[in-house]
């Protein structure tokens, strides 16, 4: 059998991912992913779950995601390869872990474009009511609504097929608008309608207690709103000077998102009319089912702002959906290049576009409209998949600190071991708080991935099929099983059967996480095995414009 380094010879000679994304372009990819439909709905849903204490939820969520972003930033600077989140566990723990985490990250990524399209369609219902129909109190797509949504997905796909330069230019134009409108909404609403009494109304500042504050991270869509910083990493193989650009984009996008979302929640809470709270925080609504910020702007008499928000309801989610079609295709491209799935997914056109992966992202995204026809139905699934993918990166970080201690690190995270452990713990807590009802569905999707892994090992040429590295990936099984058991035993507020009391469960999840972390460090690949895996990525990077990693 050929060595893994030799196996990459199936790549098309001379066909490369183009390094055409600037520093600003990479920053805008991450920031454009963070500012999507989350800003349009997040403040309302978080308020319904946590009341005024939703501000605390946004602060906690922001700090958690910043910790995860810092870990990503070091690895992104070290290894600027396309679909980086799918490859770091592969470098550190081998093929089985690389595939499992790559598949989970892909699940979270490929379903974001459909949810952003659903956000656009939800706002368009104001003018085109035939797009959605109410079923059991939830607005779901009609047949014509699905056709329109598929059309929007096709537009995003065409732009991506044209290449990363077209994608970056399109996103840069959209980002000017996407940043301006939510910040304008914060300023205007605070200036024209602010009621300090709202922060202690209807049960006080925290009417649903600490469980409401923590539940808002998942149910309120807070983590969903913050996610997206990693898009700079997924496109890291397509920028010049990635060692500088990737950390700047990751950290910079999170800083802007943190300030923006806390400002939006503060403005939303203050702008509500006291009369709108008489039925309690859980029952906030707006006339004619208007979106939260457009509804508030209309009620307080700034109709021009409402009009801008309605326009942004198409621009912001549309821009994010555009990015995620590209990002998810880079992930499946990476899975194909690693020969986890049929190697055709690693095919590049002469223009350097991963066209098979882009088309696959389009098709799977369209299928998602059928089982998840409403915006709210997809949010928690995306959170659980995305954060489980995030959780593996601190493990890879800790392993690579041990395996490659002398590798150049353009950005070196201070107190890296402590931060990595903290990042793994908080990621697992977020997964735990999304609830058992969401997590068991994710485990089914993961099982489907392993079926595809088996198919890939059958259809790929035998000389290209990688070793599965069972020992170094053995931490996966206690991790998956343990998280499932803990979630099932969780308090009823989190969808469990109530065996673990609140407070003690946090300690148990943290202790479990630390145990898994150190077990993963124990079974990690040997340094020479890591060098073999990284050699493949180094060869790709040198082939793609001569950049070394």
Mean pLDDT, residues 177-187: 90
pLDDT (mean) for 146-153:
86
pLDDT band at 455 (very low <50, low <70, confident <90, very high): confident
- What pLDDT score was predicted for residue 372? 62
pLDDT of residue 545: 44
> So what's the pLDDT on residue 320?
73
* Displacement of CA 312 from its chain's centroid (Å): 21
Task: Give one DSSP letter per residue of 204-263, joined into a string.
Answer: -S-TTHHHHHHHHHHTTSHHHHHTTTTHHHHTGGGBSSHHHHHHHHHHHHHHHHHHHHHH
Q: Look at residues 128, 129, 121 and name the one whose alpha carbon lies nearest to residue 146.
A: 121
User: Which residue's structure tokens are 């079974």?
Assistant: 523
Q: Ranked by mean pLDDT, which of 16-25, 167-176, 390-399 comes out on top? A: 390-399
Lowest-confidence pick of 114-118, 228-232, 459-463: 459-463
**The length of the chain, given as a count of residues:** 549
Q: What is the pLDDT of residue 476?
A: 95
User: For the range 3-8, what are the long-range contacts, defined as Cβ-Cβ under 8 Å and sequence gap of 24 or more?
Assistant: 3/532, 4/466, 4/532, 4/533, 4/535, 4/536, 5/532, 5/535, 5/536, 5/539, 7/339, 7/463, 7/464, 7/466, 7/536, 8/337, 8/536, 8/539, 8/540
**Do residues 93 and 238 make contact, with C-beta atoms less than 8 angstroms apart?**
no
| 3-class SS of residue 434 | helix
Predicted local confidence at residue 90, as pLDDT: 85
- Residue 189: pLDDT band (50, 70, 90) is very high
pLDDT at 397 (0 to 100): 94
| Average pLDDT of the residues of the chain | 80
pLDDT tens-digit map of 438-449: 888 889 889 988
The dihedral sign for the CA sequence 168, 232, 348, 100: negative
Q: Residue 463: is its pLDDT beyond 70? A: no
Q: Residue 236 — pLDDT band, cuts 50, 70, 90?
A: low
Mean pLDDT of 164-172: 55
pLDDT at 235 over 80: no
Instruction: State the pTM of this model.
Output: 0.79
Q: In terms of Cα–Cα distance, which of 126, 77, 514 is closest to 306?
A: 126
Residue 338: what pLDDT?
A: 67
- Lowest mean per-residue pLDDT among 5-19, 317-331, 397-411: 5-19
pLDDT in tens, 49-105: 899 999 999 999 999 888 888 888 888 777 776 556 667 888 899 889 988 988 898
pLDDT of residue 186: 94
Indicate if the pLDDT at residue 322 is higher than 80. Answer: no
Strand, helix or coil for residue 138: strand
Write down the pLDDT at residue 399: 94
pLDDT tier at 167, thresholds 50, 70, 90: low
3-state class percentages of the chain: helix first, strand second, coil last, to nearest 5 = 75, 0, 25
CATH 1.20.120.420 matches 4-412+421-543? no
Per-residue model confidence (pLDDT) at position 106 = 83
The more confidently predicted of residues 395 and 166 is 395
């Amino acid at each position: 059998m050929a060595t893994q380094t030799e196996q990459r010879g199936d790549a098309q000679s001379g066909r490369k991912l183009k390094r055409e994304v600037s520093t600003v372009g990479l920053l805008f990819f991450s920031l454009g992913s963070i500012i999507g439909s989350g800003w349009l709905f997040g403040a309302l849903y978080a308020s319904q779950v946590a009341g005024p204490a939703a501000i605390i939820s946004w602060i906690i969520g922001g700090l958690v995601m910043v910790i995860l972003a810092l870990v990503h930033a070091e690895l992104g600077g070290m290894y600027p390869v396309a679909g980086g989140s799918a490859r770091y566990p592969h470098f550190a723990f081998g093929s089985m872990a690389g595939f499992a985490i790559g598949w989970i990250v892909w699940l979270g990524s490929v379903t974001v474009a459909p949810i952003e399209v659903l956000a656009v369609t939800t706002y368009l219902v104001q003018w085109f009511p035939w797009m959605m129909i109410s079923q059991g109190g939830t607005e779901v797509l009609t047949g014509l609504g699905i056709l329109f949504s598929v059309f929007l997905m096709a537009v995003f796909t065409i732009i991506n097929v044209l290449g990363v330069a077209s994608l970056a230019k399109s996103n840069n134009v959209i980002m000017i608008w996407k940043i301006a409108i939510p910040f304008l909404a914060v300023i205007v609403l605070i200036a024209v309608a602010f009621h300090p009494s709202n922060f202690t109304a209807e049960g006080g500042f925290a009417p649903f207690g600490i469980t409401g504050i923590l539940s808002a991270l998942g149910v309120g869509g807070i983590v969903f709103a913050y996610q997206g910083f990693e898009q700079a990493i997924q496109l890291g193989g397509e920028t010049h000077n990635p060692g500088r650009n990737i950390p700047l984009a990751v950290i910079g996008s999170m800083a802007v998102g943190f300030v923006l979302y806390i400002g939006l929640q503060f403005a939303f809470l203050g702008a509500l009319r006291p009369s709108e709270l008489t039925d309690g925080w859980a029952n906030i609504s707006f006339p004619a089912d208007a979106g939260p910020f457009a509804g508030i702007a209309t009620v307080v008499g700034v109709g021009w702002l409402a009009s801008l928000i309605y326009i942004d309801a198409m621009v912001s989610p549309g821009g994010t959906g555009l990015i995620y079609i590209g990002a998810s295709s880079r992930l499946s491209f990476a899975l194909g290049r690693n020969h986890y799935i049929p190697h055709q997914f690693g095919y590049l056109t002469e223009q350097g576009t991963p066209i098979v992966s882009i088309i696959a992202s389009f098709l799977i995204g369209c299928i998602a409209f059928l089982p998840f026809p409403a915006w709210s139905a997809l949010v928690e699934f995306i959170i659980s998949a995305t954060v489980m993918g995030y959780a593996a990166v601190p493990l890879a970080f800790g392993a690579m600190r041990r395996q490659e201690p002398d590798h150049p690190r353009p950005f070196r995270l201070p107190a890296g071991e402590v931060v990595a452990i903290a990042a793994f713990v908080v990621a697992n807590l977020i997964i735990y708080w999304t609830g058992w009802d969401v997590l068991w569905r994710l485990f089914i999707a993961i099982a489907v991935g392993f079926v595809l892994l088996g198919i890939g090992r059958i259809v790929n040429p035998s000389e290209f099929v990688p070793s599965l590295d069972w020992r170094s990936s053995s931490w996966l099984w206690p991790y998956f099983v343990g998280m499932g058991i803990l979630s099932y035993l969780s308090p009823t507020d989190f969808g469990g059967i109530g065996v673990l009391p609140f407070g003690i469960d946090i300690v148990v999840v943290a202790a479990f996480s630390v145990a898994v972390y150190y077990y993963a460090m124990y079974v990690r690949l040997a340094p020479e095995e890591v060098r073999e895996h990284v050699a493949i990525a180094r060869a790709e990077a040198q082939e793609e414009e001569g950049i070394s990693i």
